[in-house]
Structure 1
Amino acid sequence: MLVPFRQVEQAAEAVSAVFRAGIIPSGMEFMEREAIAWSSDYLQIPLTLPEDIHAHLLIELDGQDLDQLYKEAEQVYGVLEHYDVGEILLADTAGQKEDLWRIRRNIGNSVRYNSVYKEEDTVVPRAELPTLLKGVKEIGARYGFKSVCYGHAGDGNLHVNIIRGELTDEQWNVGLRQPITEIFQLCVKLGGTISGEHGIGLVQKGYIGIALPEANLELMRGIKRVFDPAGILNPGKIF
């Protein structure tokens, strides 16, 4: 089912509410308005987006018993009644379902098609998603950048795509370091970490100290020295 919300933070709040109701969806994805709009346009899949809708949850239930599935869907509807939602779309056919998932899977491609961007892969406990989302937007407003957010909401994972837009080379290459640092600091403060599913790698190497204390990093350096005392194995990458 595709659930439209009039308030972005309510979409994030509804995620943990569904789980608290004892429902465990097989998929639960968050999509900000621009994310779903860009992707549906990119794929040329018609999707009506009323002006007052600002975010969507894509919720998938699975099982072998159709009656039981409909009961679970009714439970989800019962949770969502407490939020300011628009008309919920229930996929009646396999084709409709596939179109909804194609839109979700192609958000990254559609963002890439629309703009140069930096993607930060954040993760927090599900209940903290609204606070993270609000914080990301406040940081963007302070530093003058736009973000398009989406992600695996059921896992507390939020992909923050920072859009280049009109930012200068200096702002893009240097000026974003501080706001990205603040986003990661917020994740850790909320009980999360700086990488939900893509690992650290070279892009996030400079931020690893936000998530891990120096003692942990020194332990890893020590393990590196034991197995690679001459520093010849993948030199200079992480340690």
Structure 2
Amino acid sequence: MKYNKVTEDVLNELKEIIGEENVLTNMEDLEKYSHDETAIGVKALPEVVVKPEDTDQVSKILALANERKIPVTPRGQGTGLCNGAVPIYGGILLSLERMNRILEIDEDNLMAVVEAGVVLSDLRAEVEKRGLFYPADPGERTSAIGGNINTNAGGMNGVKYGKTRNYILGLEAVLPSGKVLNLGGKVVKRSTGYDLMQLIIGSEGTLAVVTKAILKLVKLPKMFMTLYVPFNNLYDAARSVSDILRERITPTAMEFVERDVILEAESKVGKTMPHHDSEAYLIIRIEGDKEEELYENAEGISEICMRNNAVDVLVADTKERQDRIWDIRSIFYEAIVKSGTVELVDAAVPPRKIPEYVEKVKELSRKYGIRILSYGHAGDGNIHVHPIKGDLSDEEWSEKLPKLMEDLYREARALGGVVSGEHGIGWTKKRYLPICLDEEEIRLMKEIKRIFDPNNILNPGKIFDIEP
């Protein structure tokens, strides 16, 4: 795909739109926006970084870029894990970090209106002051709401609360042409034509730039409890997950982790967990408004786990004890990345298929001679699989890794799974998309992209490539 360069004339027009101080061109600034948090990914320098402060400015920037056929890459906080916000073709990096205002918290209707650059942790802190809760909870609390919307981010709360799209009631989004769409609104039900809002959610910034969102809130639960459950084998842990869900006990979070991941995290955080000799663990969080209800659910979960040969069920019912467990859980990815060169597979399989998938992962680890660590969201079947370079030579790693990655995705698909459960496709996974989507699905997606963005200026090179 051929694009035009950002000329001096374009820079001057951008400065007129947003002010000279919000148009960045020095190398130090460009370098900061050349990557995201993908462990193994690409870096690509934008030609200019622009920081608009409102939707009107975003509209003018996109209209200019579309007219001049200059690529535009939208970016929130750059916390993505598949190079989704990396400006592969240079051009304009559109940072929404200045659009970080919480515009309204509507306590009567349990809704919030926010700009796309609002940081997740800031939103949650603000609504919790009012006894409210925004449930969508990707592991990276410093991510931006706009980025969460673009990837339909999930996280640990998914087993009970679902993903980001379940909490989006309305969107303001700017098309590549500069036209502004207002989709949805402060209504709970809608059956009015095609739902373009849901189409934009999860489209990874390839169809429109999200500038505002109306979010659904819930009441903040009064009490939490955490159960830490070691098992001697993966199948017992996975069977417990299915049995718990079948009993209509819905935990807030239900995490699966292998022993080696716990050990890796402990070494990084300086805290230890019991039962190091167990093969697999479940970390389960439950919530409620009444102590009696909480303990009743904890007892039910404990009985199910013990029936499935759990080694023990450790109950953390104080904030200090719970924080200790979740502090370790929160750094799994960081701890693994610090162990050396690491790849990431974000596959999702039916929850009951978790042990089969993890066994396939172990077989592939032995086949390729590559160490692999696994953990994930047991309640919704989203497993994070990390191949680690370790002592392999660069040549061995480069030769074996692509074959291993493809096999990992194919095994997930064979079990009824998909390539990505929550991180998105971005640039790094697009070669694997045909493993889980057929040709007609991908063709339709490309046609939709062409309708929204006929000049292919918006986040090009992500999800799939568009032929001229």
Query: What's the TM-score bracket when you normalise by the shorter of the two chains?
Result: over 0.9
Counterpart-to-counterpart distance in 2, 1:8 and 1:233: 43
Q: Are 1:79 and 2:304 matched, yes or no?
A: yes
Partner-residue secondary structure (3-state), 1:2: strand
Q: Are 1:44 and 2:44 matched, yes or no?
A: no
Closer, same or farther: CA 236–40 of 1 in aligned 2, 3 Å: closer
- Counterpart amino acid of residue 181 in structure 1: E
Deviation at 1:231, TM superposition (A): 4.0
Counterpart-to-counterpart distance in 1, 2:450 and 2:293: 56
Closer, same or farther: CA 110–226 of 1 in aligned 2, 3 Å: same
Instruction: Please give the per-residue CA displacement for 1:148-206, whole angstroms capped at 9, x wherever unaligned.
Output: 11111111110001111122223322322222212211212212201010000111111
Counterpart-to-counterpart distance in 2, 1:32 and 1:97: 19
Instruction: Return 5+ residue gaps in structure 1 as ranges.
Output: none
Share of identical aligned residues, percent?
A: 36
Counterpart-to-counterpart distance in 2, 1:193 and 1:200: 11
Higher relative contact order (CA 8 A, sep 6+): 1
* Aligned partner of 1:159 among 384, 399, 416: 384
Quick check: 1:3–1:85 contact (8 Å CA) kept in 2? yes
Counterpart-to-counterpart distance in 1, 2:335 and 2:304: 31
Tell me the matched-pair count: 238
Residue of structure 2 in register with 1:13 after alignment: 239
Deviation at 1:83, TM superposition (A): 2.4
Which structure: larger Rg?
2
- Counterpart amino acid of residue 116 in structure 1: T
Residue of structure 1 in register with 2:283 after alignment: 58
Residue of structure 1 in register with 2:333 after alignment: 108
Quick check: 1:13–1:129 contact (8 Å CA) kept in 2? no
Closer, same or farther: CA 60–232 of 1 in aligned 2, 3 Å: closer
Deviation at 1:89, TM superposition (A): 1.4
* Aligned partner of 2:348 among 123, 139, 142: 123
Closer, same or farther: CA 100–236 of 1 in aligned 2, 3 Å: closer
Counterpart-to-counterpart distance in 1, 2:298 and 2:456: 56
- Counterpart amino acid of residue 90 in structure 1: V
Deviation at 1:37, TM superposition (A): 1.5
Quick check: 1:9–1:133 contact (8 Å CA) kept in 2? no
Deviation at 1:220, TM superposition (A): 2.0
More helix by share: 1
Counterpart-to-counterpart distance in 2, 1:201 and 1:4: 35
Report runs of 4+ in structure 1 exceeding 6 Å deviation: none
Stretch of structure 1 that moved more, 227-236 or 208-217: 227-236
Deviation at 1:227, TM superposition (A): 4.0
- Counterpart amino acid of residue 100 in structure 1: I
Instruction: Return 5+ residue gaps in structure 2 as ranges.
Output: 1-226
* Aligned partner of 1:91 among 312, 316, 336: 316
Quick check: 2:259–2:276 contact (8 Å CA) kept in 1? no
